[in-house]
Structure 1
Amino acid sequence: MNNSIGIHALVWVGDWNRETARYAIESAAARGYDRIEIPLLDDWHIDTAATRELLSGNGLAMTGNLFLTDANDITSHDPATVAAGLRRLTGGVDTVAAVGGDHLCGTVYSKLGRYDHAPTPQGRANCVETLRQVADHAAGRGVRIGLELCNRYETNLLNTARQALEILDEIDRPDTCVVHLDTYHMNIEENGMTEPVLACGDRLGYVHIGESHRGYLGTGSVDFDGFFGALGRIGYSGPITFESFSSAVLAPELTDALCIWRDLWTDSADLARHAREFIGRQLVSAGGDGDRRRTGGGPVPAGRHRAV
């Protein structure tokens, strides 16, 4: 397990310009991360050349993350809406490629938000056909597409690993489309944290590490020992990215979509340090390389406990 360890940009900043990009990227590198995940929000006007230079100068890999809305939901029955989704997704691929990134992940298969109905056969077919086109576009640009499983309140299509594996079979682009597991969502929808990882096997291509309340790792109800142990059993070597949100760092487009109504933390640097150490220890315990030179075994913040 020689994993790229990443951190979500919203741990550091609530928007993206030259100043905030430099701060987020340099802060991530200084805390021992080697990847940053940048949300491709509509109101984040990413200067791809400047971002690429900052990433290269700090030795960071990059993941782009996006979600669809009612206006571009590719499970819609409206051809114009599906076409808008295709443009949104291929545009995201192009942005990732332009900054030298290698993954586009997120809710790339439906809108992010509560549905009032189950998926329809037509909507699923539209999704599959669109993602085939996106995968073909991404393959020529060296970008992998991660289908992030989300809980029932954020999508009606892919809530479990089994559902993701089924739709990947339909998309039939195994070299480009992968399962993206997120421990926060798994903790809501799966029966446990081990079996889904084992079921995915080599089709698992991206991982989000998040606590049950989206705060400090090891202070909620997620079974991280079981999850990292399963990663070790399948020899997972892909990216592992820490994701956490707090209203202390505001990006209104995501704050509203994800219902982040309170401060789960206020000190970005402390949160990031703790998460990097936590992930490093878990990887070592699972038989991987947690890069102990950087992660150490530093103290847990007062009032918080290590996972057991």
Structure 2
Amino acid sequence: MSRIGIHSFVWSASSAQGDLERTLANTKEAGFDLIEFSYLDPANFDIGGLAKRIADLDLGVAISIGLPADGDISSPDKTIAARGVEILNDTISLTRDLGGQKVAGILSTGHGLQTEAPTRDQWNRSAGTLAKVAGTAKTAGVTLNLEIVNRFESNLLNTAAQGLAFIEDTGSDNIFLHLDTFHMNIEEADVGLAIRHAAKKIGYVHIGESHRGFLGTGNIDFAAIFDALTAVGYSDDLSFESFSSEIVDENLSKKTAIWRNLWTDNMELARHARRFIAIGLETARRKAELVASSHRP
């Protein structure tokens, strides 16, 4: 059965110990099973203490990042690529030390708008480097999950099919897809079909609305998405992701163009999302059962 998680930036963008502990408490209070942290700075908190608090609350944990321009592993500049490997290895270690098993996000290239088309050399450099990092991750008991994002946030992997081809070129069995409904809604010809096509390699899923606010108030066909996830037997982690100018993170807000204040009451937003996802998954399961049942007279 899938664990339903929430991105920490619904609660706070701070890495201070007290703020992280409040984030965990809010996550538990809102009924989630997992917390996804981004851009944590270990210098600001006690790793062991946070890991114990996560375990005490019986929460799962994942970490997502987007590589910076000066840490782009697809870069021909060896210093920049080496910085990216260092960031990935540090993130793997932190995930392990907090009790998590998944590193997700934009791991294949720098996060942000690019003004040049990707090259085959760029693709090959990234795939070759990630294959080595995936070996390190496997030793740590952690998987790498490549977020497939829209064209305005990366020039390398914009569709699930591209992600599958990329994973094949790495030759690794420890790299999976991190699919995100917000990005898929922009880039995929059909989100449900893309999920079905990528079924065997999906390791993590973000559930987010077209405007990144309350689920069900945008134009994404979530019924089709939950149907597809149910049809392929996906039972791994799904996390709710939503952003508002109410909470600003320097690393993410500008890159993802979070200009609008789509919500102010984050607990109301979170509780709604938890219900929405749970009901969506249950409804999809019940539909599948009806379709498969044969009521002979």
Q: TM-score, normalised by structure 2?
A: 0.94
SS of residue in 1 equivalent to 2:253: helix
Partner of 1:3: 2
Q: What's the RMSD between the two structures over aligned residues?
A: 1.3
The correspondence of residues 176-255 of structure 1 with structure 2, limited to 5 A, is 176-255=174-253
Report the CA distance between 1:238 and its aligned residue: 0.7
Q: Is 2:141 aligned against 1:146?
A: no
Partner of 1:291: none
Instruction: Give the residue type in structure 2 aligned to 1:71.
Output: D
SS of residue in 2 equivalent to 1:117: coil
Find the aligned partners of 2:213 and 2:78 in 1 and give their Cα distance: 39
Greater than 6 Å deviation, 4+ residue runs = none
Instruction: Give the residue type in structure 1 aligned to 2:59.
Output: L
Find the aligned partners of 2:77 and 2:130 in 1 and give their Cα distance: 16
SS of residue in 1 equivalent to 2:228: helix
Find the aligned partners of 1:68 and 1:233 in 2 and give their Cα distance: 33
Report the CA distance between 1:200 and its aligned residue: 0.8
Instruction: Give the residue type in structure 2 aligned to 1:247.
Output: S
Partner of 1:160: 159
Report the CA distance between 1:42 and its aligned residue: 5.7
Instruction: Give the residue type in structure 1 aligned to 2:32.
Output: Y
Partner of 1:299: none
* Deviations 1:73-125, CA, capped at 9 Å, x for gaps: 11111111111111111111011011111100000011111111111122111
Instruction: Give the residue type in structure 1 aligned to 2:210.
Output: S
Q: Could you tell me whether the CA contact under 8 Å between 1:114 and 1:156 is conserved in 2?
A: yes
Partner of 2:52: 53
Find the aligned partners of 1:152 and 1:207 in 2 and give their Cα distance: 19
Q: Is 2:272 aligned against 1:269?
A: no
Which segments of 5 or more consecutive residues in structure 1 lack a partner in the other structure?
A: 289-308
More divergent stretch after superposition (81-90 vs 269-278): 81-90
Report the CA distance between 1:130 and its aligned residue: 1.0
Q: TM-score, normalised by structure 1?
A: 0.90
* Deviations 1:5-50, CA, capped at 9 Å, x for gaps: 1000000012121111111101111111010000025698443112
Q: Could you tell me whether the CA contact under 8 Å between 1:41 and 1:66 is conserved in 2?
A: no
The correspondence of residues 34-73 of structure 1 with structure 2, limited to 5 A, is 34-41=33-40, 45-73=44-72
Once the two structures are aligned, what percentage of the paired residues are identical? 37
